[in-house]
Amino acid sequence: MTVAIKFSGVSRHFGIVRAVDGVNLEIAEGEFFALLGPSGSGKTTCLRLIAGFEQPTAGSIAIFGEDATQVPPYRRPVNTVFQDYALFPHLNVRDNIAYGLMVRGDGKSARRAAADEGLELVALDGFGDRKPSELSGGQRQRVALARALVMKPKVLLLDEPLGALDLKLREQMQSELKSLQRRLGIAFVFVTHDQGEALSMADRVAVFNEGQIQQVGSPEDVYDRPQAPFVADFVGASNVLPADIVNAVIGTHAAASLRPEAITLGSGPLGGVVEAQAFLGSATRIEVRCNRQIIKVLIPKGGVVPAIGEVVQMGWAPGALHMMDGAHG
């Protein structure tokens, strides 16, 4: 496995704000990698550090084994799809896509051919003469994608590229991005705050909180085996059971995570009062209060939904309760 991007103890501080704080990270060649976290968690700053828009306060960044810490953005073999797309409004779609080739000094015919190829790649054939202002949000996004891809980067950086699209278009673009990545075989580094997006698209996920990486692993790892309460809570809104409850139930004094869909109602070691219900379409989520703790339970469609105020007992299959070794809460 070739390492495409390597962060060694990278920090980026803005005054007293530690946007990125001592991050170690390795992203492999050809991997679909998601940086997941809430806003302000440092994931976008990490992406900007890879692109070269930010300089690390401490630590070093290597791109394909070469130290890139002092390399300006225009000499890095990576390209970015911006959150606001950042298309040049004074250029038409073709010139936007060929911009990188133009500043590199490619001839007119080569540029045109590459731009048309890029348009074809994102299924926008025939849109070359339009201005960005004449395109829809989804189309602009594809142009931004094509503009970055015609540079044949070794790593493509995507900063919340689907954030501004509506749900249907998002889902479509998710699968298109995924298949594009497989076809091109280059690493995609993808910033998102949407855990569903990260889990469904990425080969590996890094979960960020307050400038630090909480966990790196496959989607199954971070979903089923969270190593920190933050990960359990943020990735799929898992229940985080504090040590005293876990101790009372199974006799081990440690925090644990328990997925809402892993809980069955009827009999079990944990009892509580139903406090709220929310109909989600394919399931109903209820919130059960056990002392000071709120436990979320997902009841699939067709299951019996208890009324608010009802007392319920909750159980789960052996192994569903995941102990968090790295828990500090």
Partner 1 sequence: MAKAVRSPLSDALWRRPNLLLLLLITPPLLWLGIVYIGSLFALLVQSFFSIDEFSGLINYEFTLKTYGELLRASNFDILVRTIAMASAVTIGAAIVAFPIAYYAARYARGKWKAVFYLGVMLPLWSSYLVKVYSWKLILAKEGILNWLFETLHLSWVLEAYLSIPGIGGNSLSVSWTGTFLVFLYVWLPFMILPIQASLERVPPSMLEASGDLGAKPGQTLRHVILPLALPGIIAGSIFTFSLTMGDYIIPQIVGTSARMIGQAVYQFQGTAGNIPLAAAFAVVPIVVMGIYLTLAKRAGAFDAL
User: Among residues 23, 15, 14, which one has the least CA distance to residue 50?
Assistant: 23
> Which residue's structure tokens are 């060649």?
29
Binding residues for partner 1 restricted to 18-77, rule: CB under 8 A: 51-53, 72-75
Q: Is 184 in the site for partner 1 (CB under 8 A)?
A: no
Q: Which of 1, 16, 39, 89 binds partner 1 (CB under 8 A)?
A: 89
CB 283, CB 247: distance < 8 Å: no
Chain-centre distance for alpha carbon 324: 22
Q: Which of 5, 36, 148, 158 binds partner 1 (CB under 8 A)?
A: 148
CB 321, CB 258: distance < 8 Å: yes
- Among the listed ranges 15-23, 96-104, 243-251, 264-272, the one in contact with partner 1 (CB under 8 A) is 96-104
Q: Which is nearer to partner 1, 19 or 305 (CB)?
A: 19
DSSP 117: H
Q: In angstroms, how far is the first alpha carbon of the chain from the final one?
A: 35
Q: Rounded distance, CA 321 to CA 258, Å?
A: 5
Residue 131 Cβ, how far from partner 1 at the closest point, in Å? 8
Q: For the chain, what is the radius of gyration of the CA atoms?
A: 23
Residue 143 Cβ, how far from partner 1 at the closest point, in Å? 12
Q: Is 272 in the site for partner 1 (CB under 8 A)?
A: no
Q: Is 141 in the site for partner 1 (CB under 8 A)?
A: no
> Element (H or E) spanning 216, and its range?
strand 212-217
- Among the listed ranges 19-27, 100-108, 229-237, 312-320, the one in contact with partner 1 (CB under 8 A) is 100-108
Q: Which is nearer to partner 1, 80 or 209 (CB)?
A: 80
Beta bridge partners of 212: 209
Residue 103 Cβ, how far from partner 1 at the closest point, in Å? 4
Chain-centre distance for alpha carbon 89: 29
* Alpha helices (H) in 236-294, listed in sequence order: 243-250
Q: Which is nearer to partner 1, 155 or 235 (CB)?
A: 155
Residue 67 Cβ, how far from partner 1 at the closest point, in Å? 19
Residues that bind partner 1 (CB under 8 A): 51-53, 72-75, 78-80, 82-84, 86-90, 99-100, 102-104, 147-148, 151
